[in-house]
Amino acid sequence: MIENIRLSFQGIWAHKMRSFLTMLGIIIGIASLISIVSTIKGTNEQIKKNLIGEGDNVVDVYLGQGGSEYEMEYQGVPEGVPVITKEQKEKIADLDEVTNVTCYQVRKYADSVFYQNKTMNGGAVFGIDTDYLDTCGYQIIRGRGFSKSDYGKFQKVVLIDETASSNFFEKGEEIGKVIEIKGEPFTVVGVIKKTEEFEPVINSREEYYTYYNESSGMVLVPDSTWPIIYRYDEPQLVSVKATSPESMSAAGKKTAEILNESIVSATGDIKYKARDMMEKAKDLQQISESTNRQLLWIASISLLVGGIGVMNIMLVSVTERTGEIGLKKAIGANKRRILGQFLTEAAVLTSIGGILGVFAGVILSAVIAKMSGAPMVISVPAAVLAVVFSTVIGLIFGLLPSVKAANLSPIEALRRM
């Protein structure tokens, strides 16, 4: 075998240009396959990041009715849905898939937040517990957060994000200012922002509405003061931080199950649901993959063409080396040895083409990633499989020329010398 491989390299080196042109079909085919697989994986990673952010792992659990979200600002407090208890929160926090949990109230489109003659239209008001900032990934950038006394003494204090701050105040002048929420005065004690900012890649109008929700800001108050603003207690929403992106679905479903145990709604169609972004990501990924699989089949045609080229050049090689074959048979070489020599040469030829194709595919993947903005993800198993596949192509398409060489009559072969 080693001797056959050595002879194969000698033959390839002796006809460098011809060998390269023969390998070109294999190189193009493998490069196409590697770049398409990279594009599929890169697109899938981009979809996942666009939907769940970069390492956020937060799952929102909301109240749903039928197929839509229950809107308390329009539909009122639902009957039979109690306030989440401390025991329920602890039970959720003890789940293996959960690292942190928070309960909160929200008005998503508050139109009753004012500072002097300015209003925050389309902003959101949250009533948060002590775990909200850590769970949802916010940090204090100016001022302070809520203290235990703020909760215990029902202090009318508020945190705002940078968007709300820019709508109302000059930068750095927020702390100590008093804003009104539904006529109640609240003192600004801090400004928050996301710990890790993530902007999804938007390539179309459809993706804009899929990934991006415009808001004029966030206003956060202690949940103990929520009834002061809205005059009643109401069921909270929940956000859980999962241990990993892969555990988000399980964390959301188990949380919803725990919360639904206490619901005794007369209508029976109101229940907690997890906003499963991982499932949505998988759906979008499947659509992307189904399209790209068609490209994989098209790229495979290049390998078929490359294999035919290998068979053609090996037939030429057999014709050129007829005398050599006859001489070897005359001194005792059997059919098996001749067959092995030419099969090895075909396999080495396509294997080199496969390796060069992998390198070309990596370069092509980098170019595509640069142009599309998607991350470059190279699959090592796919690269190894591509080289193995190219070797198999050499064995398959080199079989006919090798059999022809092995079956040559030594007398006829020597006569052609």
Boundary-marking domain end, from 211, 243, 275: 243
Q: Could you tell me if 194 and 70 lie in one domain? A: yes
Structure tokens at 327: 């001489």
The secondary element (H helix, E strand) that includes residue 282 is helix 277-320
Asked if 191 and 172 touch (Cβ cutoff 8 Å), the reply is: no
- With beta carbons less than 8 A apart as the criterion, state whether 389 and 58 touch: no
pLDDT of the residue at 231: 75
Find tokens 């491989």 and name the residue: 5
The last residue of a domain, from among 243, 275, 307: 243
The answer to the question of residue 250 being in a domain is no
| pLDDT string in tens for the chain (417-residue length) | 676 677 667 777 777 788 888 888 888 888 888 887 887 777 777 666 655 555 578 888 988 887 788 888 778 888 888 889 999 999 999 999 999 999 999 988 877 889 888 888 778 999 999 999 999 889 999 999 999 999 999 999 999 999 889 888 888 889 999 999 988 999 999 999 988 655 545 455 444 444 445 567 899 999 999 999 987 778 899 999 988 877 888 898 999 999 998 888 655 688 898 876 655 555 555 655 566 666 667 667 777 778 888 888 888 777 767 767 677 766 667 777 777 777 888 888 888 988 998 999 889 888 888 887 767 778 788 788 888 888 888 888 888 877 777 776 666 655 555
- pTM across the whole model: 0.60
Domain-located, residue 398: yes
Question: Same domain for 12 and 146?
Answer: no
The residues, ordered by sequence, that sit 6+ positions from 6 with a Cβ below 8 Å of its Cβ are none
DSSP string, 95-155: STTEEEEEEEEEEEEE--EEETTEE-TTEEEEEE-TTHHHHHTEEEEEE----HHHHHTT-
C-alpha dihedral over 273, 276, 277, 279, to 10 degrees? -140
Q: What pLDDT is stored for residue 37 in this prediction? A: 80
Whether residue 254 lies inside any domain: the answer is no
The pLDDT score that the predictor gives to residue 223 is 93
Residue where a domain terminates, one of 243, 271, 300: 243
| H or E element that contains 194 | strand 184-194
d(CA 309, CA 21): 9
- If asked whether residues 10 and 67 sit together in one domain, one would say no
In a domain, 261, yes or no: no
Q: What SS3 state is found at 264?
A: coil
Same structural domain for residues 72 and 202?
yes
Residue 332 contacts residue 372 (beta carbons within 8 Å) = no
Asked whether residue 248 is assigned to any structural domain, the reply reads no
Query: Strand, coil or helix: what is 261?
Result: coil
Range of the domain at 229: 58-243
Same domain, 334 and 409: yes
Helix (H, G, I), strand (E, B) or coil at 375: coil
The DSSP output letter for 203 is: -
- Say whether both 296 and 188 belong to one domain: no
Q: Which of 330, 347, 329 is nearest to 338 (CA)?
A: 329
- Domain-embedded: residue 6: yes
Alpha-carbon Rg for the chain, nearest whole angstrom, is 34
| 208, 108: one domain | yes
205, two tokens:
């109008």
Strands 218-222 and 123-128: parallel
Residues 43 and 69 in one domain: no
Please check whether residues 42 and 104 belong to one and the same domain.
Answer: no
Q: Is the four-CA dihedral 144, 148, 153, 154 of positive or negative sign?
A: positive
123, β-bridge pairs: 110
**What total number of domains does the chain contain?**
2
User: Domain for residue 257, yes or no?
Assistant: no
Which has the closest alpha carbon to 327: 343, 316, 342, 338? 338
Give yes or no: residues 158 and 216 share one domain.
Answer: yes
Query: Within 10 Å of residue 183's Cβ, how many Cβ atoms?
Result: 8
- The verdict on 131 and 46 lying in the same domain is no
Q: Same domain, yes or no, for 41 and 187? A: no
Q: Is 127 a domain residue? A: yes
Spatial CA neighbour of 70 closest among 253, 252, 235, 280: 235
Rounded to whole angstroms, the Cα distance separating 233 from 216 reads: 26
Cβ(218)–Cβ(166) below 8 Å: no
Distance CA(226)–CA(207), nearest Å, equals 35
